[in-house]
Structure 1
């Protein structure tokens, strides 16, 4: 199973780079929100493009860090029985979930959004607001970015859990305090 280490590590590294890069937009959103509040309540100015900048940044962050959320086990999971399961059963749940839910979801989003994004690019779609931003088509492109980043990490997640399903533990758990929670390692299996 060592032959899976390199692809998993590569996919995880891509996910981390993308997630960390786009997560910095969160700081930008906070600063822009502060500026918007200051302009509105102190100076009596309301700039539509400034408000839309925060909305665009939020959309970009939420779509581009989805893979990172899956990698660091920050995704939504209804954990009624999962936490009490053995490593192999958890891996089986993760594999089945990846194949039956994640893959079809990504396919449907891709299928439904390619035409939508393509039309937006052809029209160079802009905001409906008169003084809004001119780049709505770029924002809509992040629907496809969402699919790509989640597919990259979904593949890594699937490979990692297949390895756990076969071996009973993860021989190469992720480094870091908040990573690797979604696949049990050898020490967790012994407990």
Structure 2
């Protein structure tokens, strides 16, 4: 179990690392959006490339930040029943959800999105809009983001099994690891 917990910590660091890119993508997206609005309304100039880079950066924010959201337990959850349960029951529900819902979905989505990315990379597909950008970088975010979520799912499963076995401590009020 000790080696699995080391693996979980490594995966958590990878999620932290990808979250840094997501954080900067939010800032860049906001700055580009504001700059684009100023250019459009002040100088009557706009570019499809600038509009597309905004949604590329938004995609980076979502796909690279999702694993971190799972790691820090800030994902959407309906707490009506979950919040009333004892810690052990919550951990079992988490394990069930991670095993039978998150993992199969993320593995399937990564598998299905990989050929889309490869096809766009090989063909060098470019947006049909005038001044549009190449599309493979944003498509690469799909299999990458789904793989990061699957890895973080593995980390969360390891930590919950560790908690059940008494080898890992979590604050189950928020289900975050004790620092």
Q: Tell me the TM-score normalised to structure 1 length.
A: 0.85
Aligned partner of 2:142 in structure 1 is 143
Looking at structure 2, the residues matched to 8 and 2 of structure 1 have their Cα atoms a distance apart, in angstroms, of: 10
Aligned partner of 1:188 in structure 2 is none
Listed one character per residue, the Cα deviations across residues 39-64 of structure 1 (whole Å, up to 9, x for unaligned) are 01111111111111111100111111
Q: CA RMSD in A?
A: 2.0
Classify 1:184/1:72 alpha carbon distance in 2 versus 1 (closer, same or farther; 3 Å): closer
Shift of 1:86: 1.3
Aligned partner of 2:122 in structure 1 is 122
The answer to whether the 8 Å contact 2:15/2:148 transfers is: yes
Looking at structure 1, the residues matched to 78 and 38 of structure 2 have their Cα atoms a distance apart, in angstroms, of: 40
Gaps of 5+ in 2: none
Aligned partner of 2:159 in structure 1 is 160
Classify 1:115/1:184 alpha carbon distance in 2 versus 1 (closer, same or farther; 3 Å): closer
Secondary structure class of the residue paired with 1:127: coil
Aligned partner of 2:29 in structure 1 is 29
The answer to whether the 8 Å contact 2:11/2:152 transfers is: yes
Aligned partner of 1:189 in structure 2 is none
Aligned partner of 2:47 in structure 1 is 47
Q: Tell me the TM-score normalised to structure 2 length.
A: 0.90
- Would you say 1:20 and 2:20 are equivalent positions? yes
Listed one character per residue, the Cα deviations across residues 9-48 of structure 1 (whole Å, up to 9, x for unaligned) are 2211111111123311111111101101100111111111
Shift of 1:95: 0.6
Secondary structure class of the residue paired with 1:98: helix
Shift of 1:81: 1.0
Secondary structure class of the residue paired with 1:132: coil
Q: Aligned runs of 1:1-191 on 2, under 5 Å?
A: 1-133=1-133, 135-167=134-166, 170-171=168-169, 173=170, 181-183=174-176
Secondary structure class of the residue paired with 1:42: helix
Secondary structure class of the residue paired with 1:145: helix
Listed one character per residue, the Cα deviations across residues 140-174 of structure 1 (whole Å, up to 9, x for unaligned) are 0110111121122111101111122333x842x48
